[in-house]
Amino acid sequence: MELKRRVKQGPGPRGAAVALVALALSGCGTLAPKYTRPEAPIPATWPSGPAYQEQKEQPGKPPVAALSWRDFFNNEKLRGLITLALENNRDLREAALNIERARAIYRIQRAPLFPFVNASGVGNVQRVPADLSSTREADTFEQYSATVGLTSYELDFFGRVRSLRNQALQQFFATEEARRSAQISLVAEVAQSWLTLAADRELLGLAQETLKSHQATYDLTKRRFDVGVASALDVRQAQTTVESAKVDIARYTGLVAQDENALRLLVGASLPPDSLPGALTSVTDLEEIPAGLPSEVLQCRPDILAAEHQLEGAYANIGAARAAFFPRIALTANAGVASSELEGLFESGSGTWLFAPRIDLPIFNAGSLRAQLKVSQVDRDIFLSRYERAIQSAFREVADALAQQGTIGNQMAAQQALVDATTEAYKLSEARFTKGIESFLTVLDSQRALYSAQQNLITIRLLRLTNEVTLYRVLGGGAA
């Protein structure tokens, strides 16, 4: 009898609120497996061998991740273009919007941790006809109520809601890292496109200078032919070098225009005239990348951090799938006033309240819950494989860039020596041809060799500068 009386009386609004808070605070953990960062499936040091420079520590040098692009790129024109690209590039803008979307999704998943409190006012007026009325007379019924309460608030005893919240949080972190990765890539792409434009402009200038030189040689040969000193074959051979230079001028003119178009797309706006580069020889070396960095630096790359956050989110999903096996307890409660007349809605004795706990216990679901748990576990393994593959790919990118860095200096020195040698050979062959000692074919071969060597020198100089940009990117250069 005492039990029945206690149930009939109920806990009252204040007692229901106290019970609600106590029960809510009791659920503070999750069933997600504990996350530990997997061991990186790569060597602890960078590769070594004939293709690599000896990696030496440089005390006082900040890590690449802490090196701002403003400090790395020391050309004011390039800095201005990068700033413009960061403000206007549409891909980067989309990445920023994805962050806002992920933040909103996280807030949506976080909201069920707190009860939703709603206020409602209801007025209901109903007329009952005589044939349906118990008094056999038409009647009108009125009912008014005003309540404040919560509906179906889940007590997260087993961490299902918290696991979903954690998964959304990790997705938000991953999206933020993806934006950082996109920004670093954009900075590197703008720099490489700008350097490529500078190289193609220099190649165009070289082709124009070569045309002048070959045109002068052709004119001289034509005059010698007119006086009977040179043969028709010499004239035609000289003409081939002129036409070849014209072909290169047309080709490089098109490439320069395409380079500007590519740069314009990256920047996302019109290119200021004073931001375009001159010849590549006017570009100074970039900030030196600190050497001696261990492979653990890859753990700080944004794309790898994004993959790790995705992996942590998969762990949280396992917790939500495990919690689905356990009961779900929800509360519905409200308190307010009700009356059959609007005037008496707030009079004494019109108070009303409701406290309705609910529990759902899974009994038979044809194995769907177990399948969902299996899916979450397989997803965890998939994201683990992606994380490890991201580290391995990053290691390969850095190793390739270091191999190129270790050999590009020798290429540069050898190519410069080749240009110097072919320049002297061309001068000697031209002098001997003028004195009638050598044939024009020797002069022609020297011209072609010099032109090719000069072109290759510009290409290698571009390769050296873009290699420095690539190292900055693959080592996780700072995006700020």
Rounded to whole angstroms, the Cα distance separating 448 from 428 reads: 14
Provide the 3-class DSSP secondary structure of residue 270: coil
pLDDT at 217: 85
Length in residues, the chain: 480
Q: Where are the domains of the chain?
A: 34-114+157-321+371-474
Strand-pairing partners, residue 352, are 336
pLDDT in tens, 335-381: 888 887 777 778 887 888 888 899 999 999 999 999 999 999 999 99
Q: What is the mean pLDDT of residues 406-414?
A: 93
What are the angstrom distances between the C-alpha of 111 and each of 105, 107, 114, 292? 10, 6, 6, 47
pLDDT at 22: 40
Predicted TM-score (pTM) of this structure: 0.83
Most confident of 141-145, 316-320, 352-356: 316-320
The pair of three-digit structure tokens given for residue 11, joined into one six-digit string: 């806990």
Residue 402: which of 42, 59, 40, 47 has the closest Cα?
A: 47
pLDDT band at 58 (very low <50, low <70, confident <90, very high): low
**Are 175 and 310 a contacting pair, CB within 8 Å?**
no
pLDDT at 44: 82
Strand-pairing partners, residue 153, are 331
Phi and psi, residue 249, nearest 5°: -60, -45
Mean pLDDT value across the chain:
86
pLDDT in tens, 299-313: 888 999 999 999 999
**Are 275 and 263 a contacting pair, CB within 8 Å?**
no
Q: What angle do CA 461, 454, 277 make, to 5 degrees?
A: 50
Rounded to whole angstroms, the Cα distance separating 78 from 273 reads: 12
- Please name the helix (run of DSSP H) or strand (run of DSSP E) that holds residue 36, with its range, or none: none
pLDDT in tens, 381-390: 999 999 999 9
Decide if pLDDT at 15 tops 60: no
pLDDT in tens, 251-285: 999 999 999 999 999 999 999 988 899 888 878 76
pLDDT at 290: 63
Q: What is the mean pLDDT of residues 414-425?
A: 95
Provide the 3-class DSSP secondary structure of residue 49: coil
pLDDT at 14: 44
pLDDT in tens, 118-127: 998 888 888 8
Q: Using DSSP bridges, classify how beta strands 117-128 and 351-360 pair: parallel, antiparallel or unpaired.
A: unpaired
pLDDT at 5: 34
Q: What is the mean pLDDT of residues 17-24?
A: 42
pLDDT in tens, 227-253: 887 888 888 888 988 999 999 999 999
CATH 1.20.1730.10 matches 34-114+157-321+371-474: no
Residue 162: which of 110, 102, 114, 106 has the closest Cα?
A: 110
pLDDT at 55: 62
pLDDT at 433: 78
pLDDT at 45: 83
Rounded to whole angstroms, the Cα distance separating 115 from 18 reads: 14
pLDDT at 46: 84
Phi and psi, residue 140, nearest 5°: -120, 130
pLDDT at 295: 66
Which phi-psi region, left, alpha or beta, contains residue 337 (left: φ > 0; alpha: ψ -120 to 50)? Answer: beta
Sign of CA dihedral 55, 61, 66, 71: negative
pLDDT at 195: 95
**Are 157 and 326 a contacting pair, CB within 8 Å?**
yes
Rounded to whole angstroms, the Cα distance separating 104 from 172 reads: 9
The pair of three-digit structure tokens given for residue 86, joined into one six-digit string: 């960061």
The pair of three-digit structure tokens given for residue 379, joined into one six-digit string: 């997803």
Q: What is the mean pLDDT of residues 140-169?
A: 89
